[in-house]
A and B are shown apart, each in its own frame.
Chain A
Amino acid sequence: MSDELDRIRREMHAVLQQPGVRPDDSLQITRRTFIHRSLLFGAASVGQTFAWWPLLNTIDVAHAAEAPFKFAWISDTHLYQKSLNTRFVDKVVRAVQEVQAMDPPADFLIFGGDLAQLGKIEELELGVDLLKDLTIKKYYIPGEHDWYLDMGKKWGELFGQPNWTFDHKGVRFIGLDTVSRGPDYWTVKKMTPEERMGHMATLDGTVAGAWAGVGRDQLDWMQKILADWDKSKPIVIFSHNPLYEYYPPWNFWVRDWREVNDVLKPYTKVTNIHGHVHQVLYNEIGSMRSIGMLATSWPWPYAPEGVPKLTKPMIRADPGDTYDGVGWETVTVPADDKVDVEYIMWGRKEVLVQSDPDSSLSQPEKLRPRIADNMWPY
């Protein structure tokens, strides 16, 4: 598997990281961007960078908004019914209260998917109920946990079209559905909806396969809605999965990243903000910047390979504290051509790793995929 990953990753770099291709930096090169770039070319390993990384928990992205504004992001709440598990509920309540208390208020909230854990009606409705205390405008994109029990029926009833676009203060925002186009792994095996959902809800499952993708129809739609947009004006794209290839066995990617890149290539100020990974991530891929967000529910460890070199990793959470390693984000789009992402992690002040022992990456791992879910029926 590792050789295959290596091959794909070399291909991604060959396609996307051609000489001189990176997100537009003509507007402002911050200290952080400068360090990112030197890392990119210096090819230093994550471990080697700990000693000299600055103590920062925001990420700058070059942009040009008409007027400064802020929005908030919450995702990956993975709600169970209240009777089974209240700790995830408590954390949504807290995130909602904190976003509601923002002063000045956020212009809007993006909910980045995985509202429910097993796609149940009660779980999705519980999510709506908890988020209703938040009075700002809310936009939703789906996660795989929301979708595969009833193939998006309830989600659609509650939130409408899963992909959408709007303009706000000089920025074009796009929400994508990267979860609903998975290959059919259930019909031949005659799975019940619950069994189908069970495989989808297992991050390291081997049955659901490469389900994350944008799809030809949605790519055409994106091309259409961007046709009238100035190539040098900012675009922010929300997706549940990252729009590049980080770790396919956990669907930390979209399988059609090449086609996504084809559509976005002409635009110089593209930022992708995504959930699903439950961890801090930063990458530059072609002319796009990509930022991974925290979950409110629980953190995933970094994948054993493929962590982008530009990512300053987050701390390894204390497993005894359910408020550690998780939280929500504010995104500031000031007038001076930047995007600042601030990670609000409840467990601690320093979100990012300061030294080796705080990182899950400090111990190299070689992992094998699981076997039991492919022995059907067990």
Chain B
Amino acid sequence: MTIRATFLGTLCRPSFVVAIAAVAVFVGPTSAHKAPHTPEQLRQYEDVLMEEVRKGDLLFHGDAATAKQMNVVLSTTGMACAMCHPMASDTHPQSYPKFQVETSKFATLRDMINWCIEKPNQGEKIEIDSEAMKALEAYITWSNSGSVLVPGKH
């Protein structure tokens, strides 16, 4: 119990990079050509995420320039996602996949994003693995960081 608590505590701290490096030393490399993550790499990974979050934030808030640039029409009514979901509230990404009442289907978050685009927003649904979809998903999940996964929850 104590050990587990300590381990989690370590991971939660910003210094987890150091912690991972330390673990690697104790366990030893399983493959000689793999190097531990550098702080520079981790920063790059973070930058990639935050760039997607930024784009998703703009799309979610109805930014016309970003929508045009990404070649999507998410709404034709003047409504933007954030008008019903400020700070991506009430999107509950942690509850997917689940049976979606609106479509009577077992659905992912991406399915529901498309439903909102098509129905309330009267926009054009986007490809399920498109750049815009990934950005929207990044923004919604990032905004809800810290929520507990409860698939299927209504």
Contact = CB atoms under 8 A, between A and B. Distances in A.
Contact of B88 (A202, A360, A367): A367
Interface in B95-154: 95, 102, 116, 119-120, 142-148, 150, 153-154
Contacts of A367: 87-89, 143-144
A370 B54 CA distance: 9
Interface residues of B, number: 37
A250 B82 CA distance: 12
Interface of A: 80, 84-85, 87, 117, 202-204, 249-250, 298-301, 303-304, 316, 319-320, 322, 357, 360, 362-373, 375, 378
Nearest to B147: A366
Given A301-B86, A365-B147, A375-B54, 4 more contacts: A301-B89, A363-B153, A370-B57, A378-B58
Given A322-B120, A365-B89, A366-B145, A371 B78 contact: no
28 contacts: A84-B78, A85-B78, A85-B79, A202-B82, A203-B82, A203-B86, A300-B84, A301-B84, A301-B85, A301-B86, A303-B89, A304-B87, A304-B89, A316-B90, A319-B102, A320-B102, A357-B154, A363-B150, A365-B89, A365-B90, A365-B144, A367-B143, A371-B50, A371-B53, A372-B55, A372-B63, A375-B54, A378-B54
B30 interface: no
A181 to B, nearest CB: 22
Contacts of A299: 84
Interface string B37-72: 000000000000010011101100101000000000
Given A316-B90, A363-B153, A372 B77 contact: no
A37 to B, nearest CB: 30
A84 B145 contact: no
A367 B60 CA distance: 15
A249 to B, nearest CB: 7
Contacts of B50: 371
Interface of B: 50, 53-55, 57-58, 61, 63, 77-79, 82-90, 92, 94-95, 102, 116, 119-120, 142-148, 150, 153-154
Contacts, number: 95
B78 A372 contact: no
B87 A204 contact: yes
Contacts of A360: 89-90
Majority SS at the chain B contact face: loop
A76 B89 CA distance: 20
Contacts of B144: 365-368
A319 B92 contact: no
Contacts of B78: 80, 84-85, 117
A180 to B, nearest CB: 22
A84 B146 CA distance: 38
Contacts of A368: 87, 142-145
A89 B70 CA distance: 31
A29 B122 CA distance: 48
A249 B54 CA distance: 19
Indicate the member of B58, B83, B119, B145 with the most A CB atoms within 10 Å. Answer: B83
User: Ordered nearest first, which 6 A-B pairs have the shortest CB separation?
Assistant: A204-B86, A366-B146, A301-B90, A372-B57, A367-B87, A204-B87
B92 A365 contact: yes
Contacts of B90: 301, 316, 360, 365
Contacts of B89: 301, 303-304, 360, 365, 367
A298 B145 contact: no
Contacts of B82: 202-204, 370
Contacts of B146: 366
B61 A319 contact: no
A372 B58 CA distance: 6
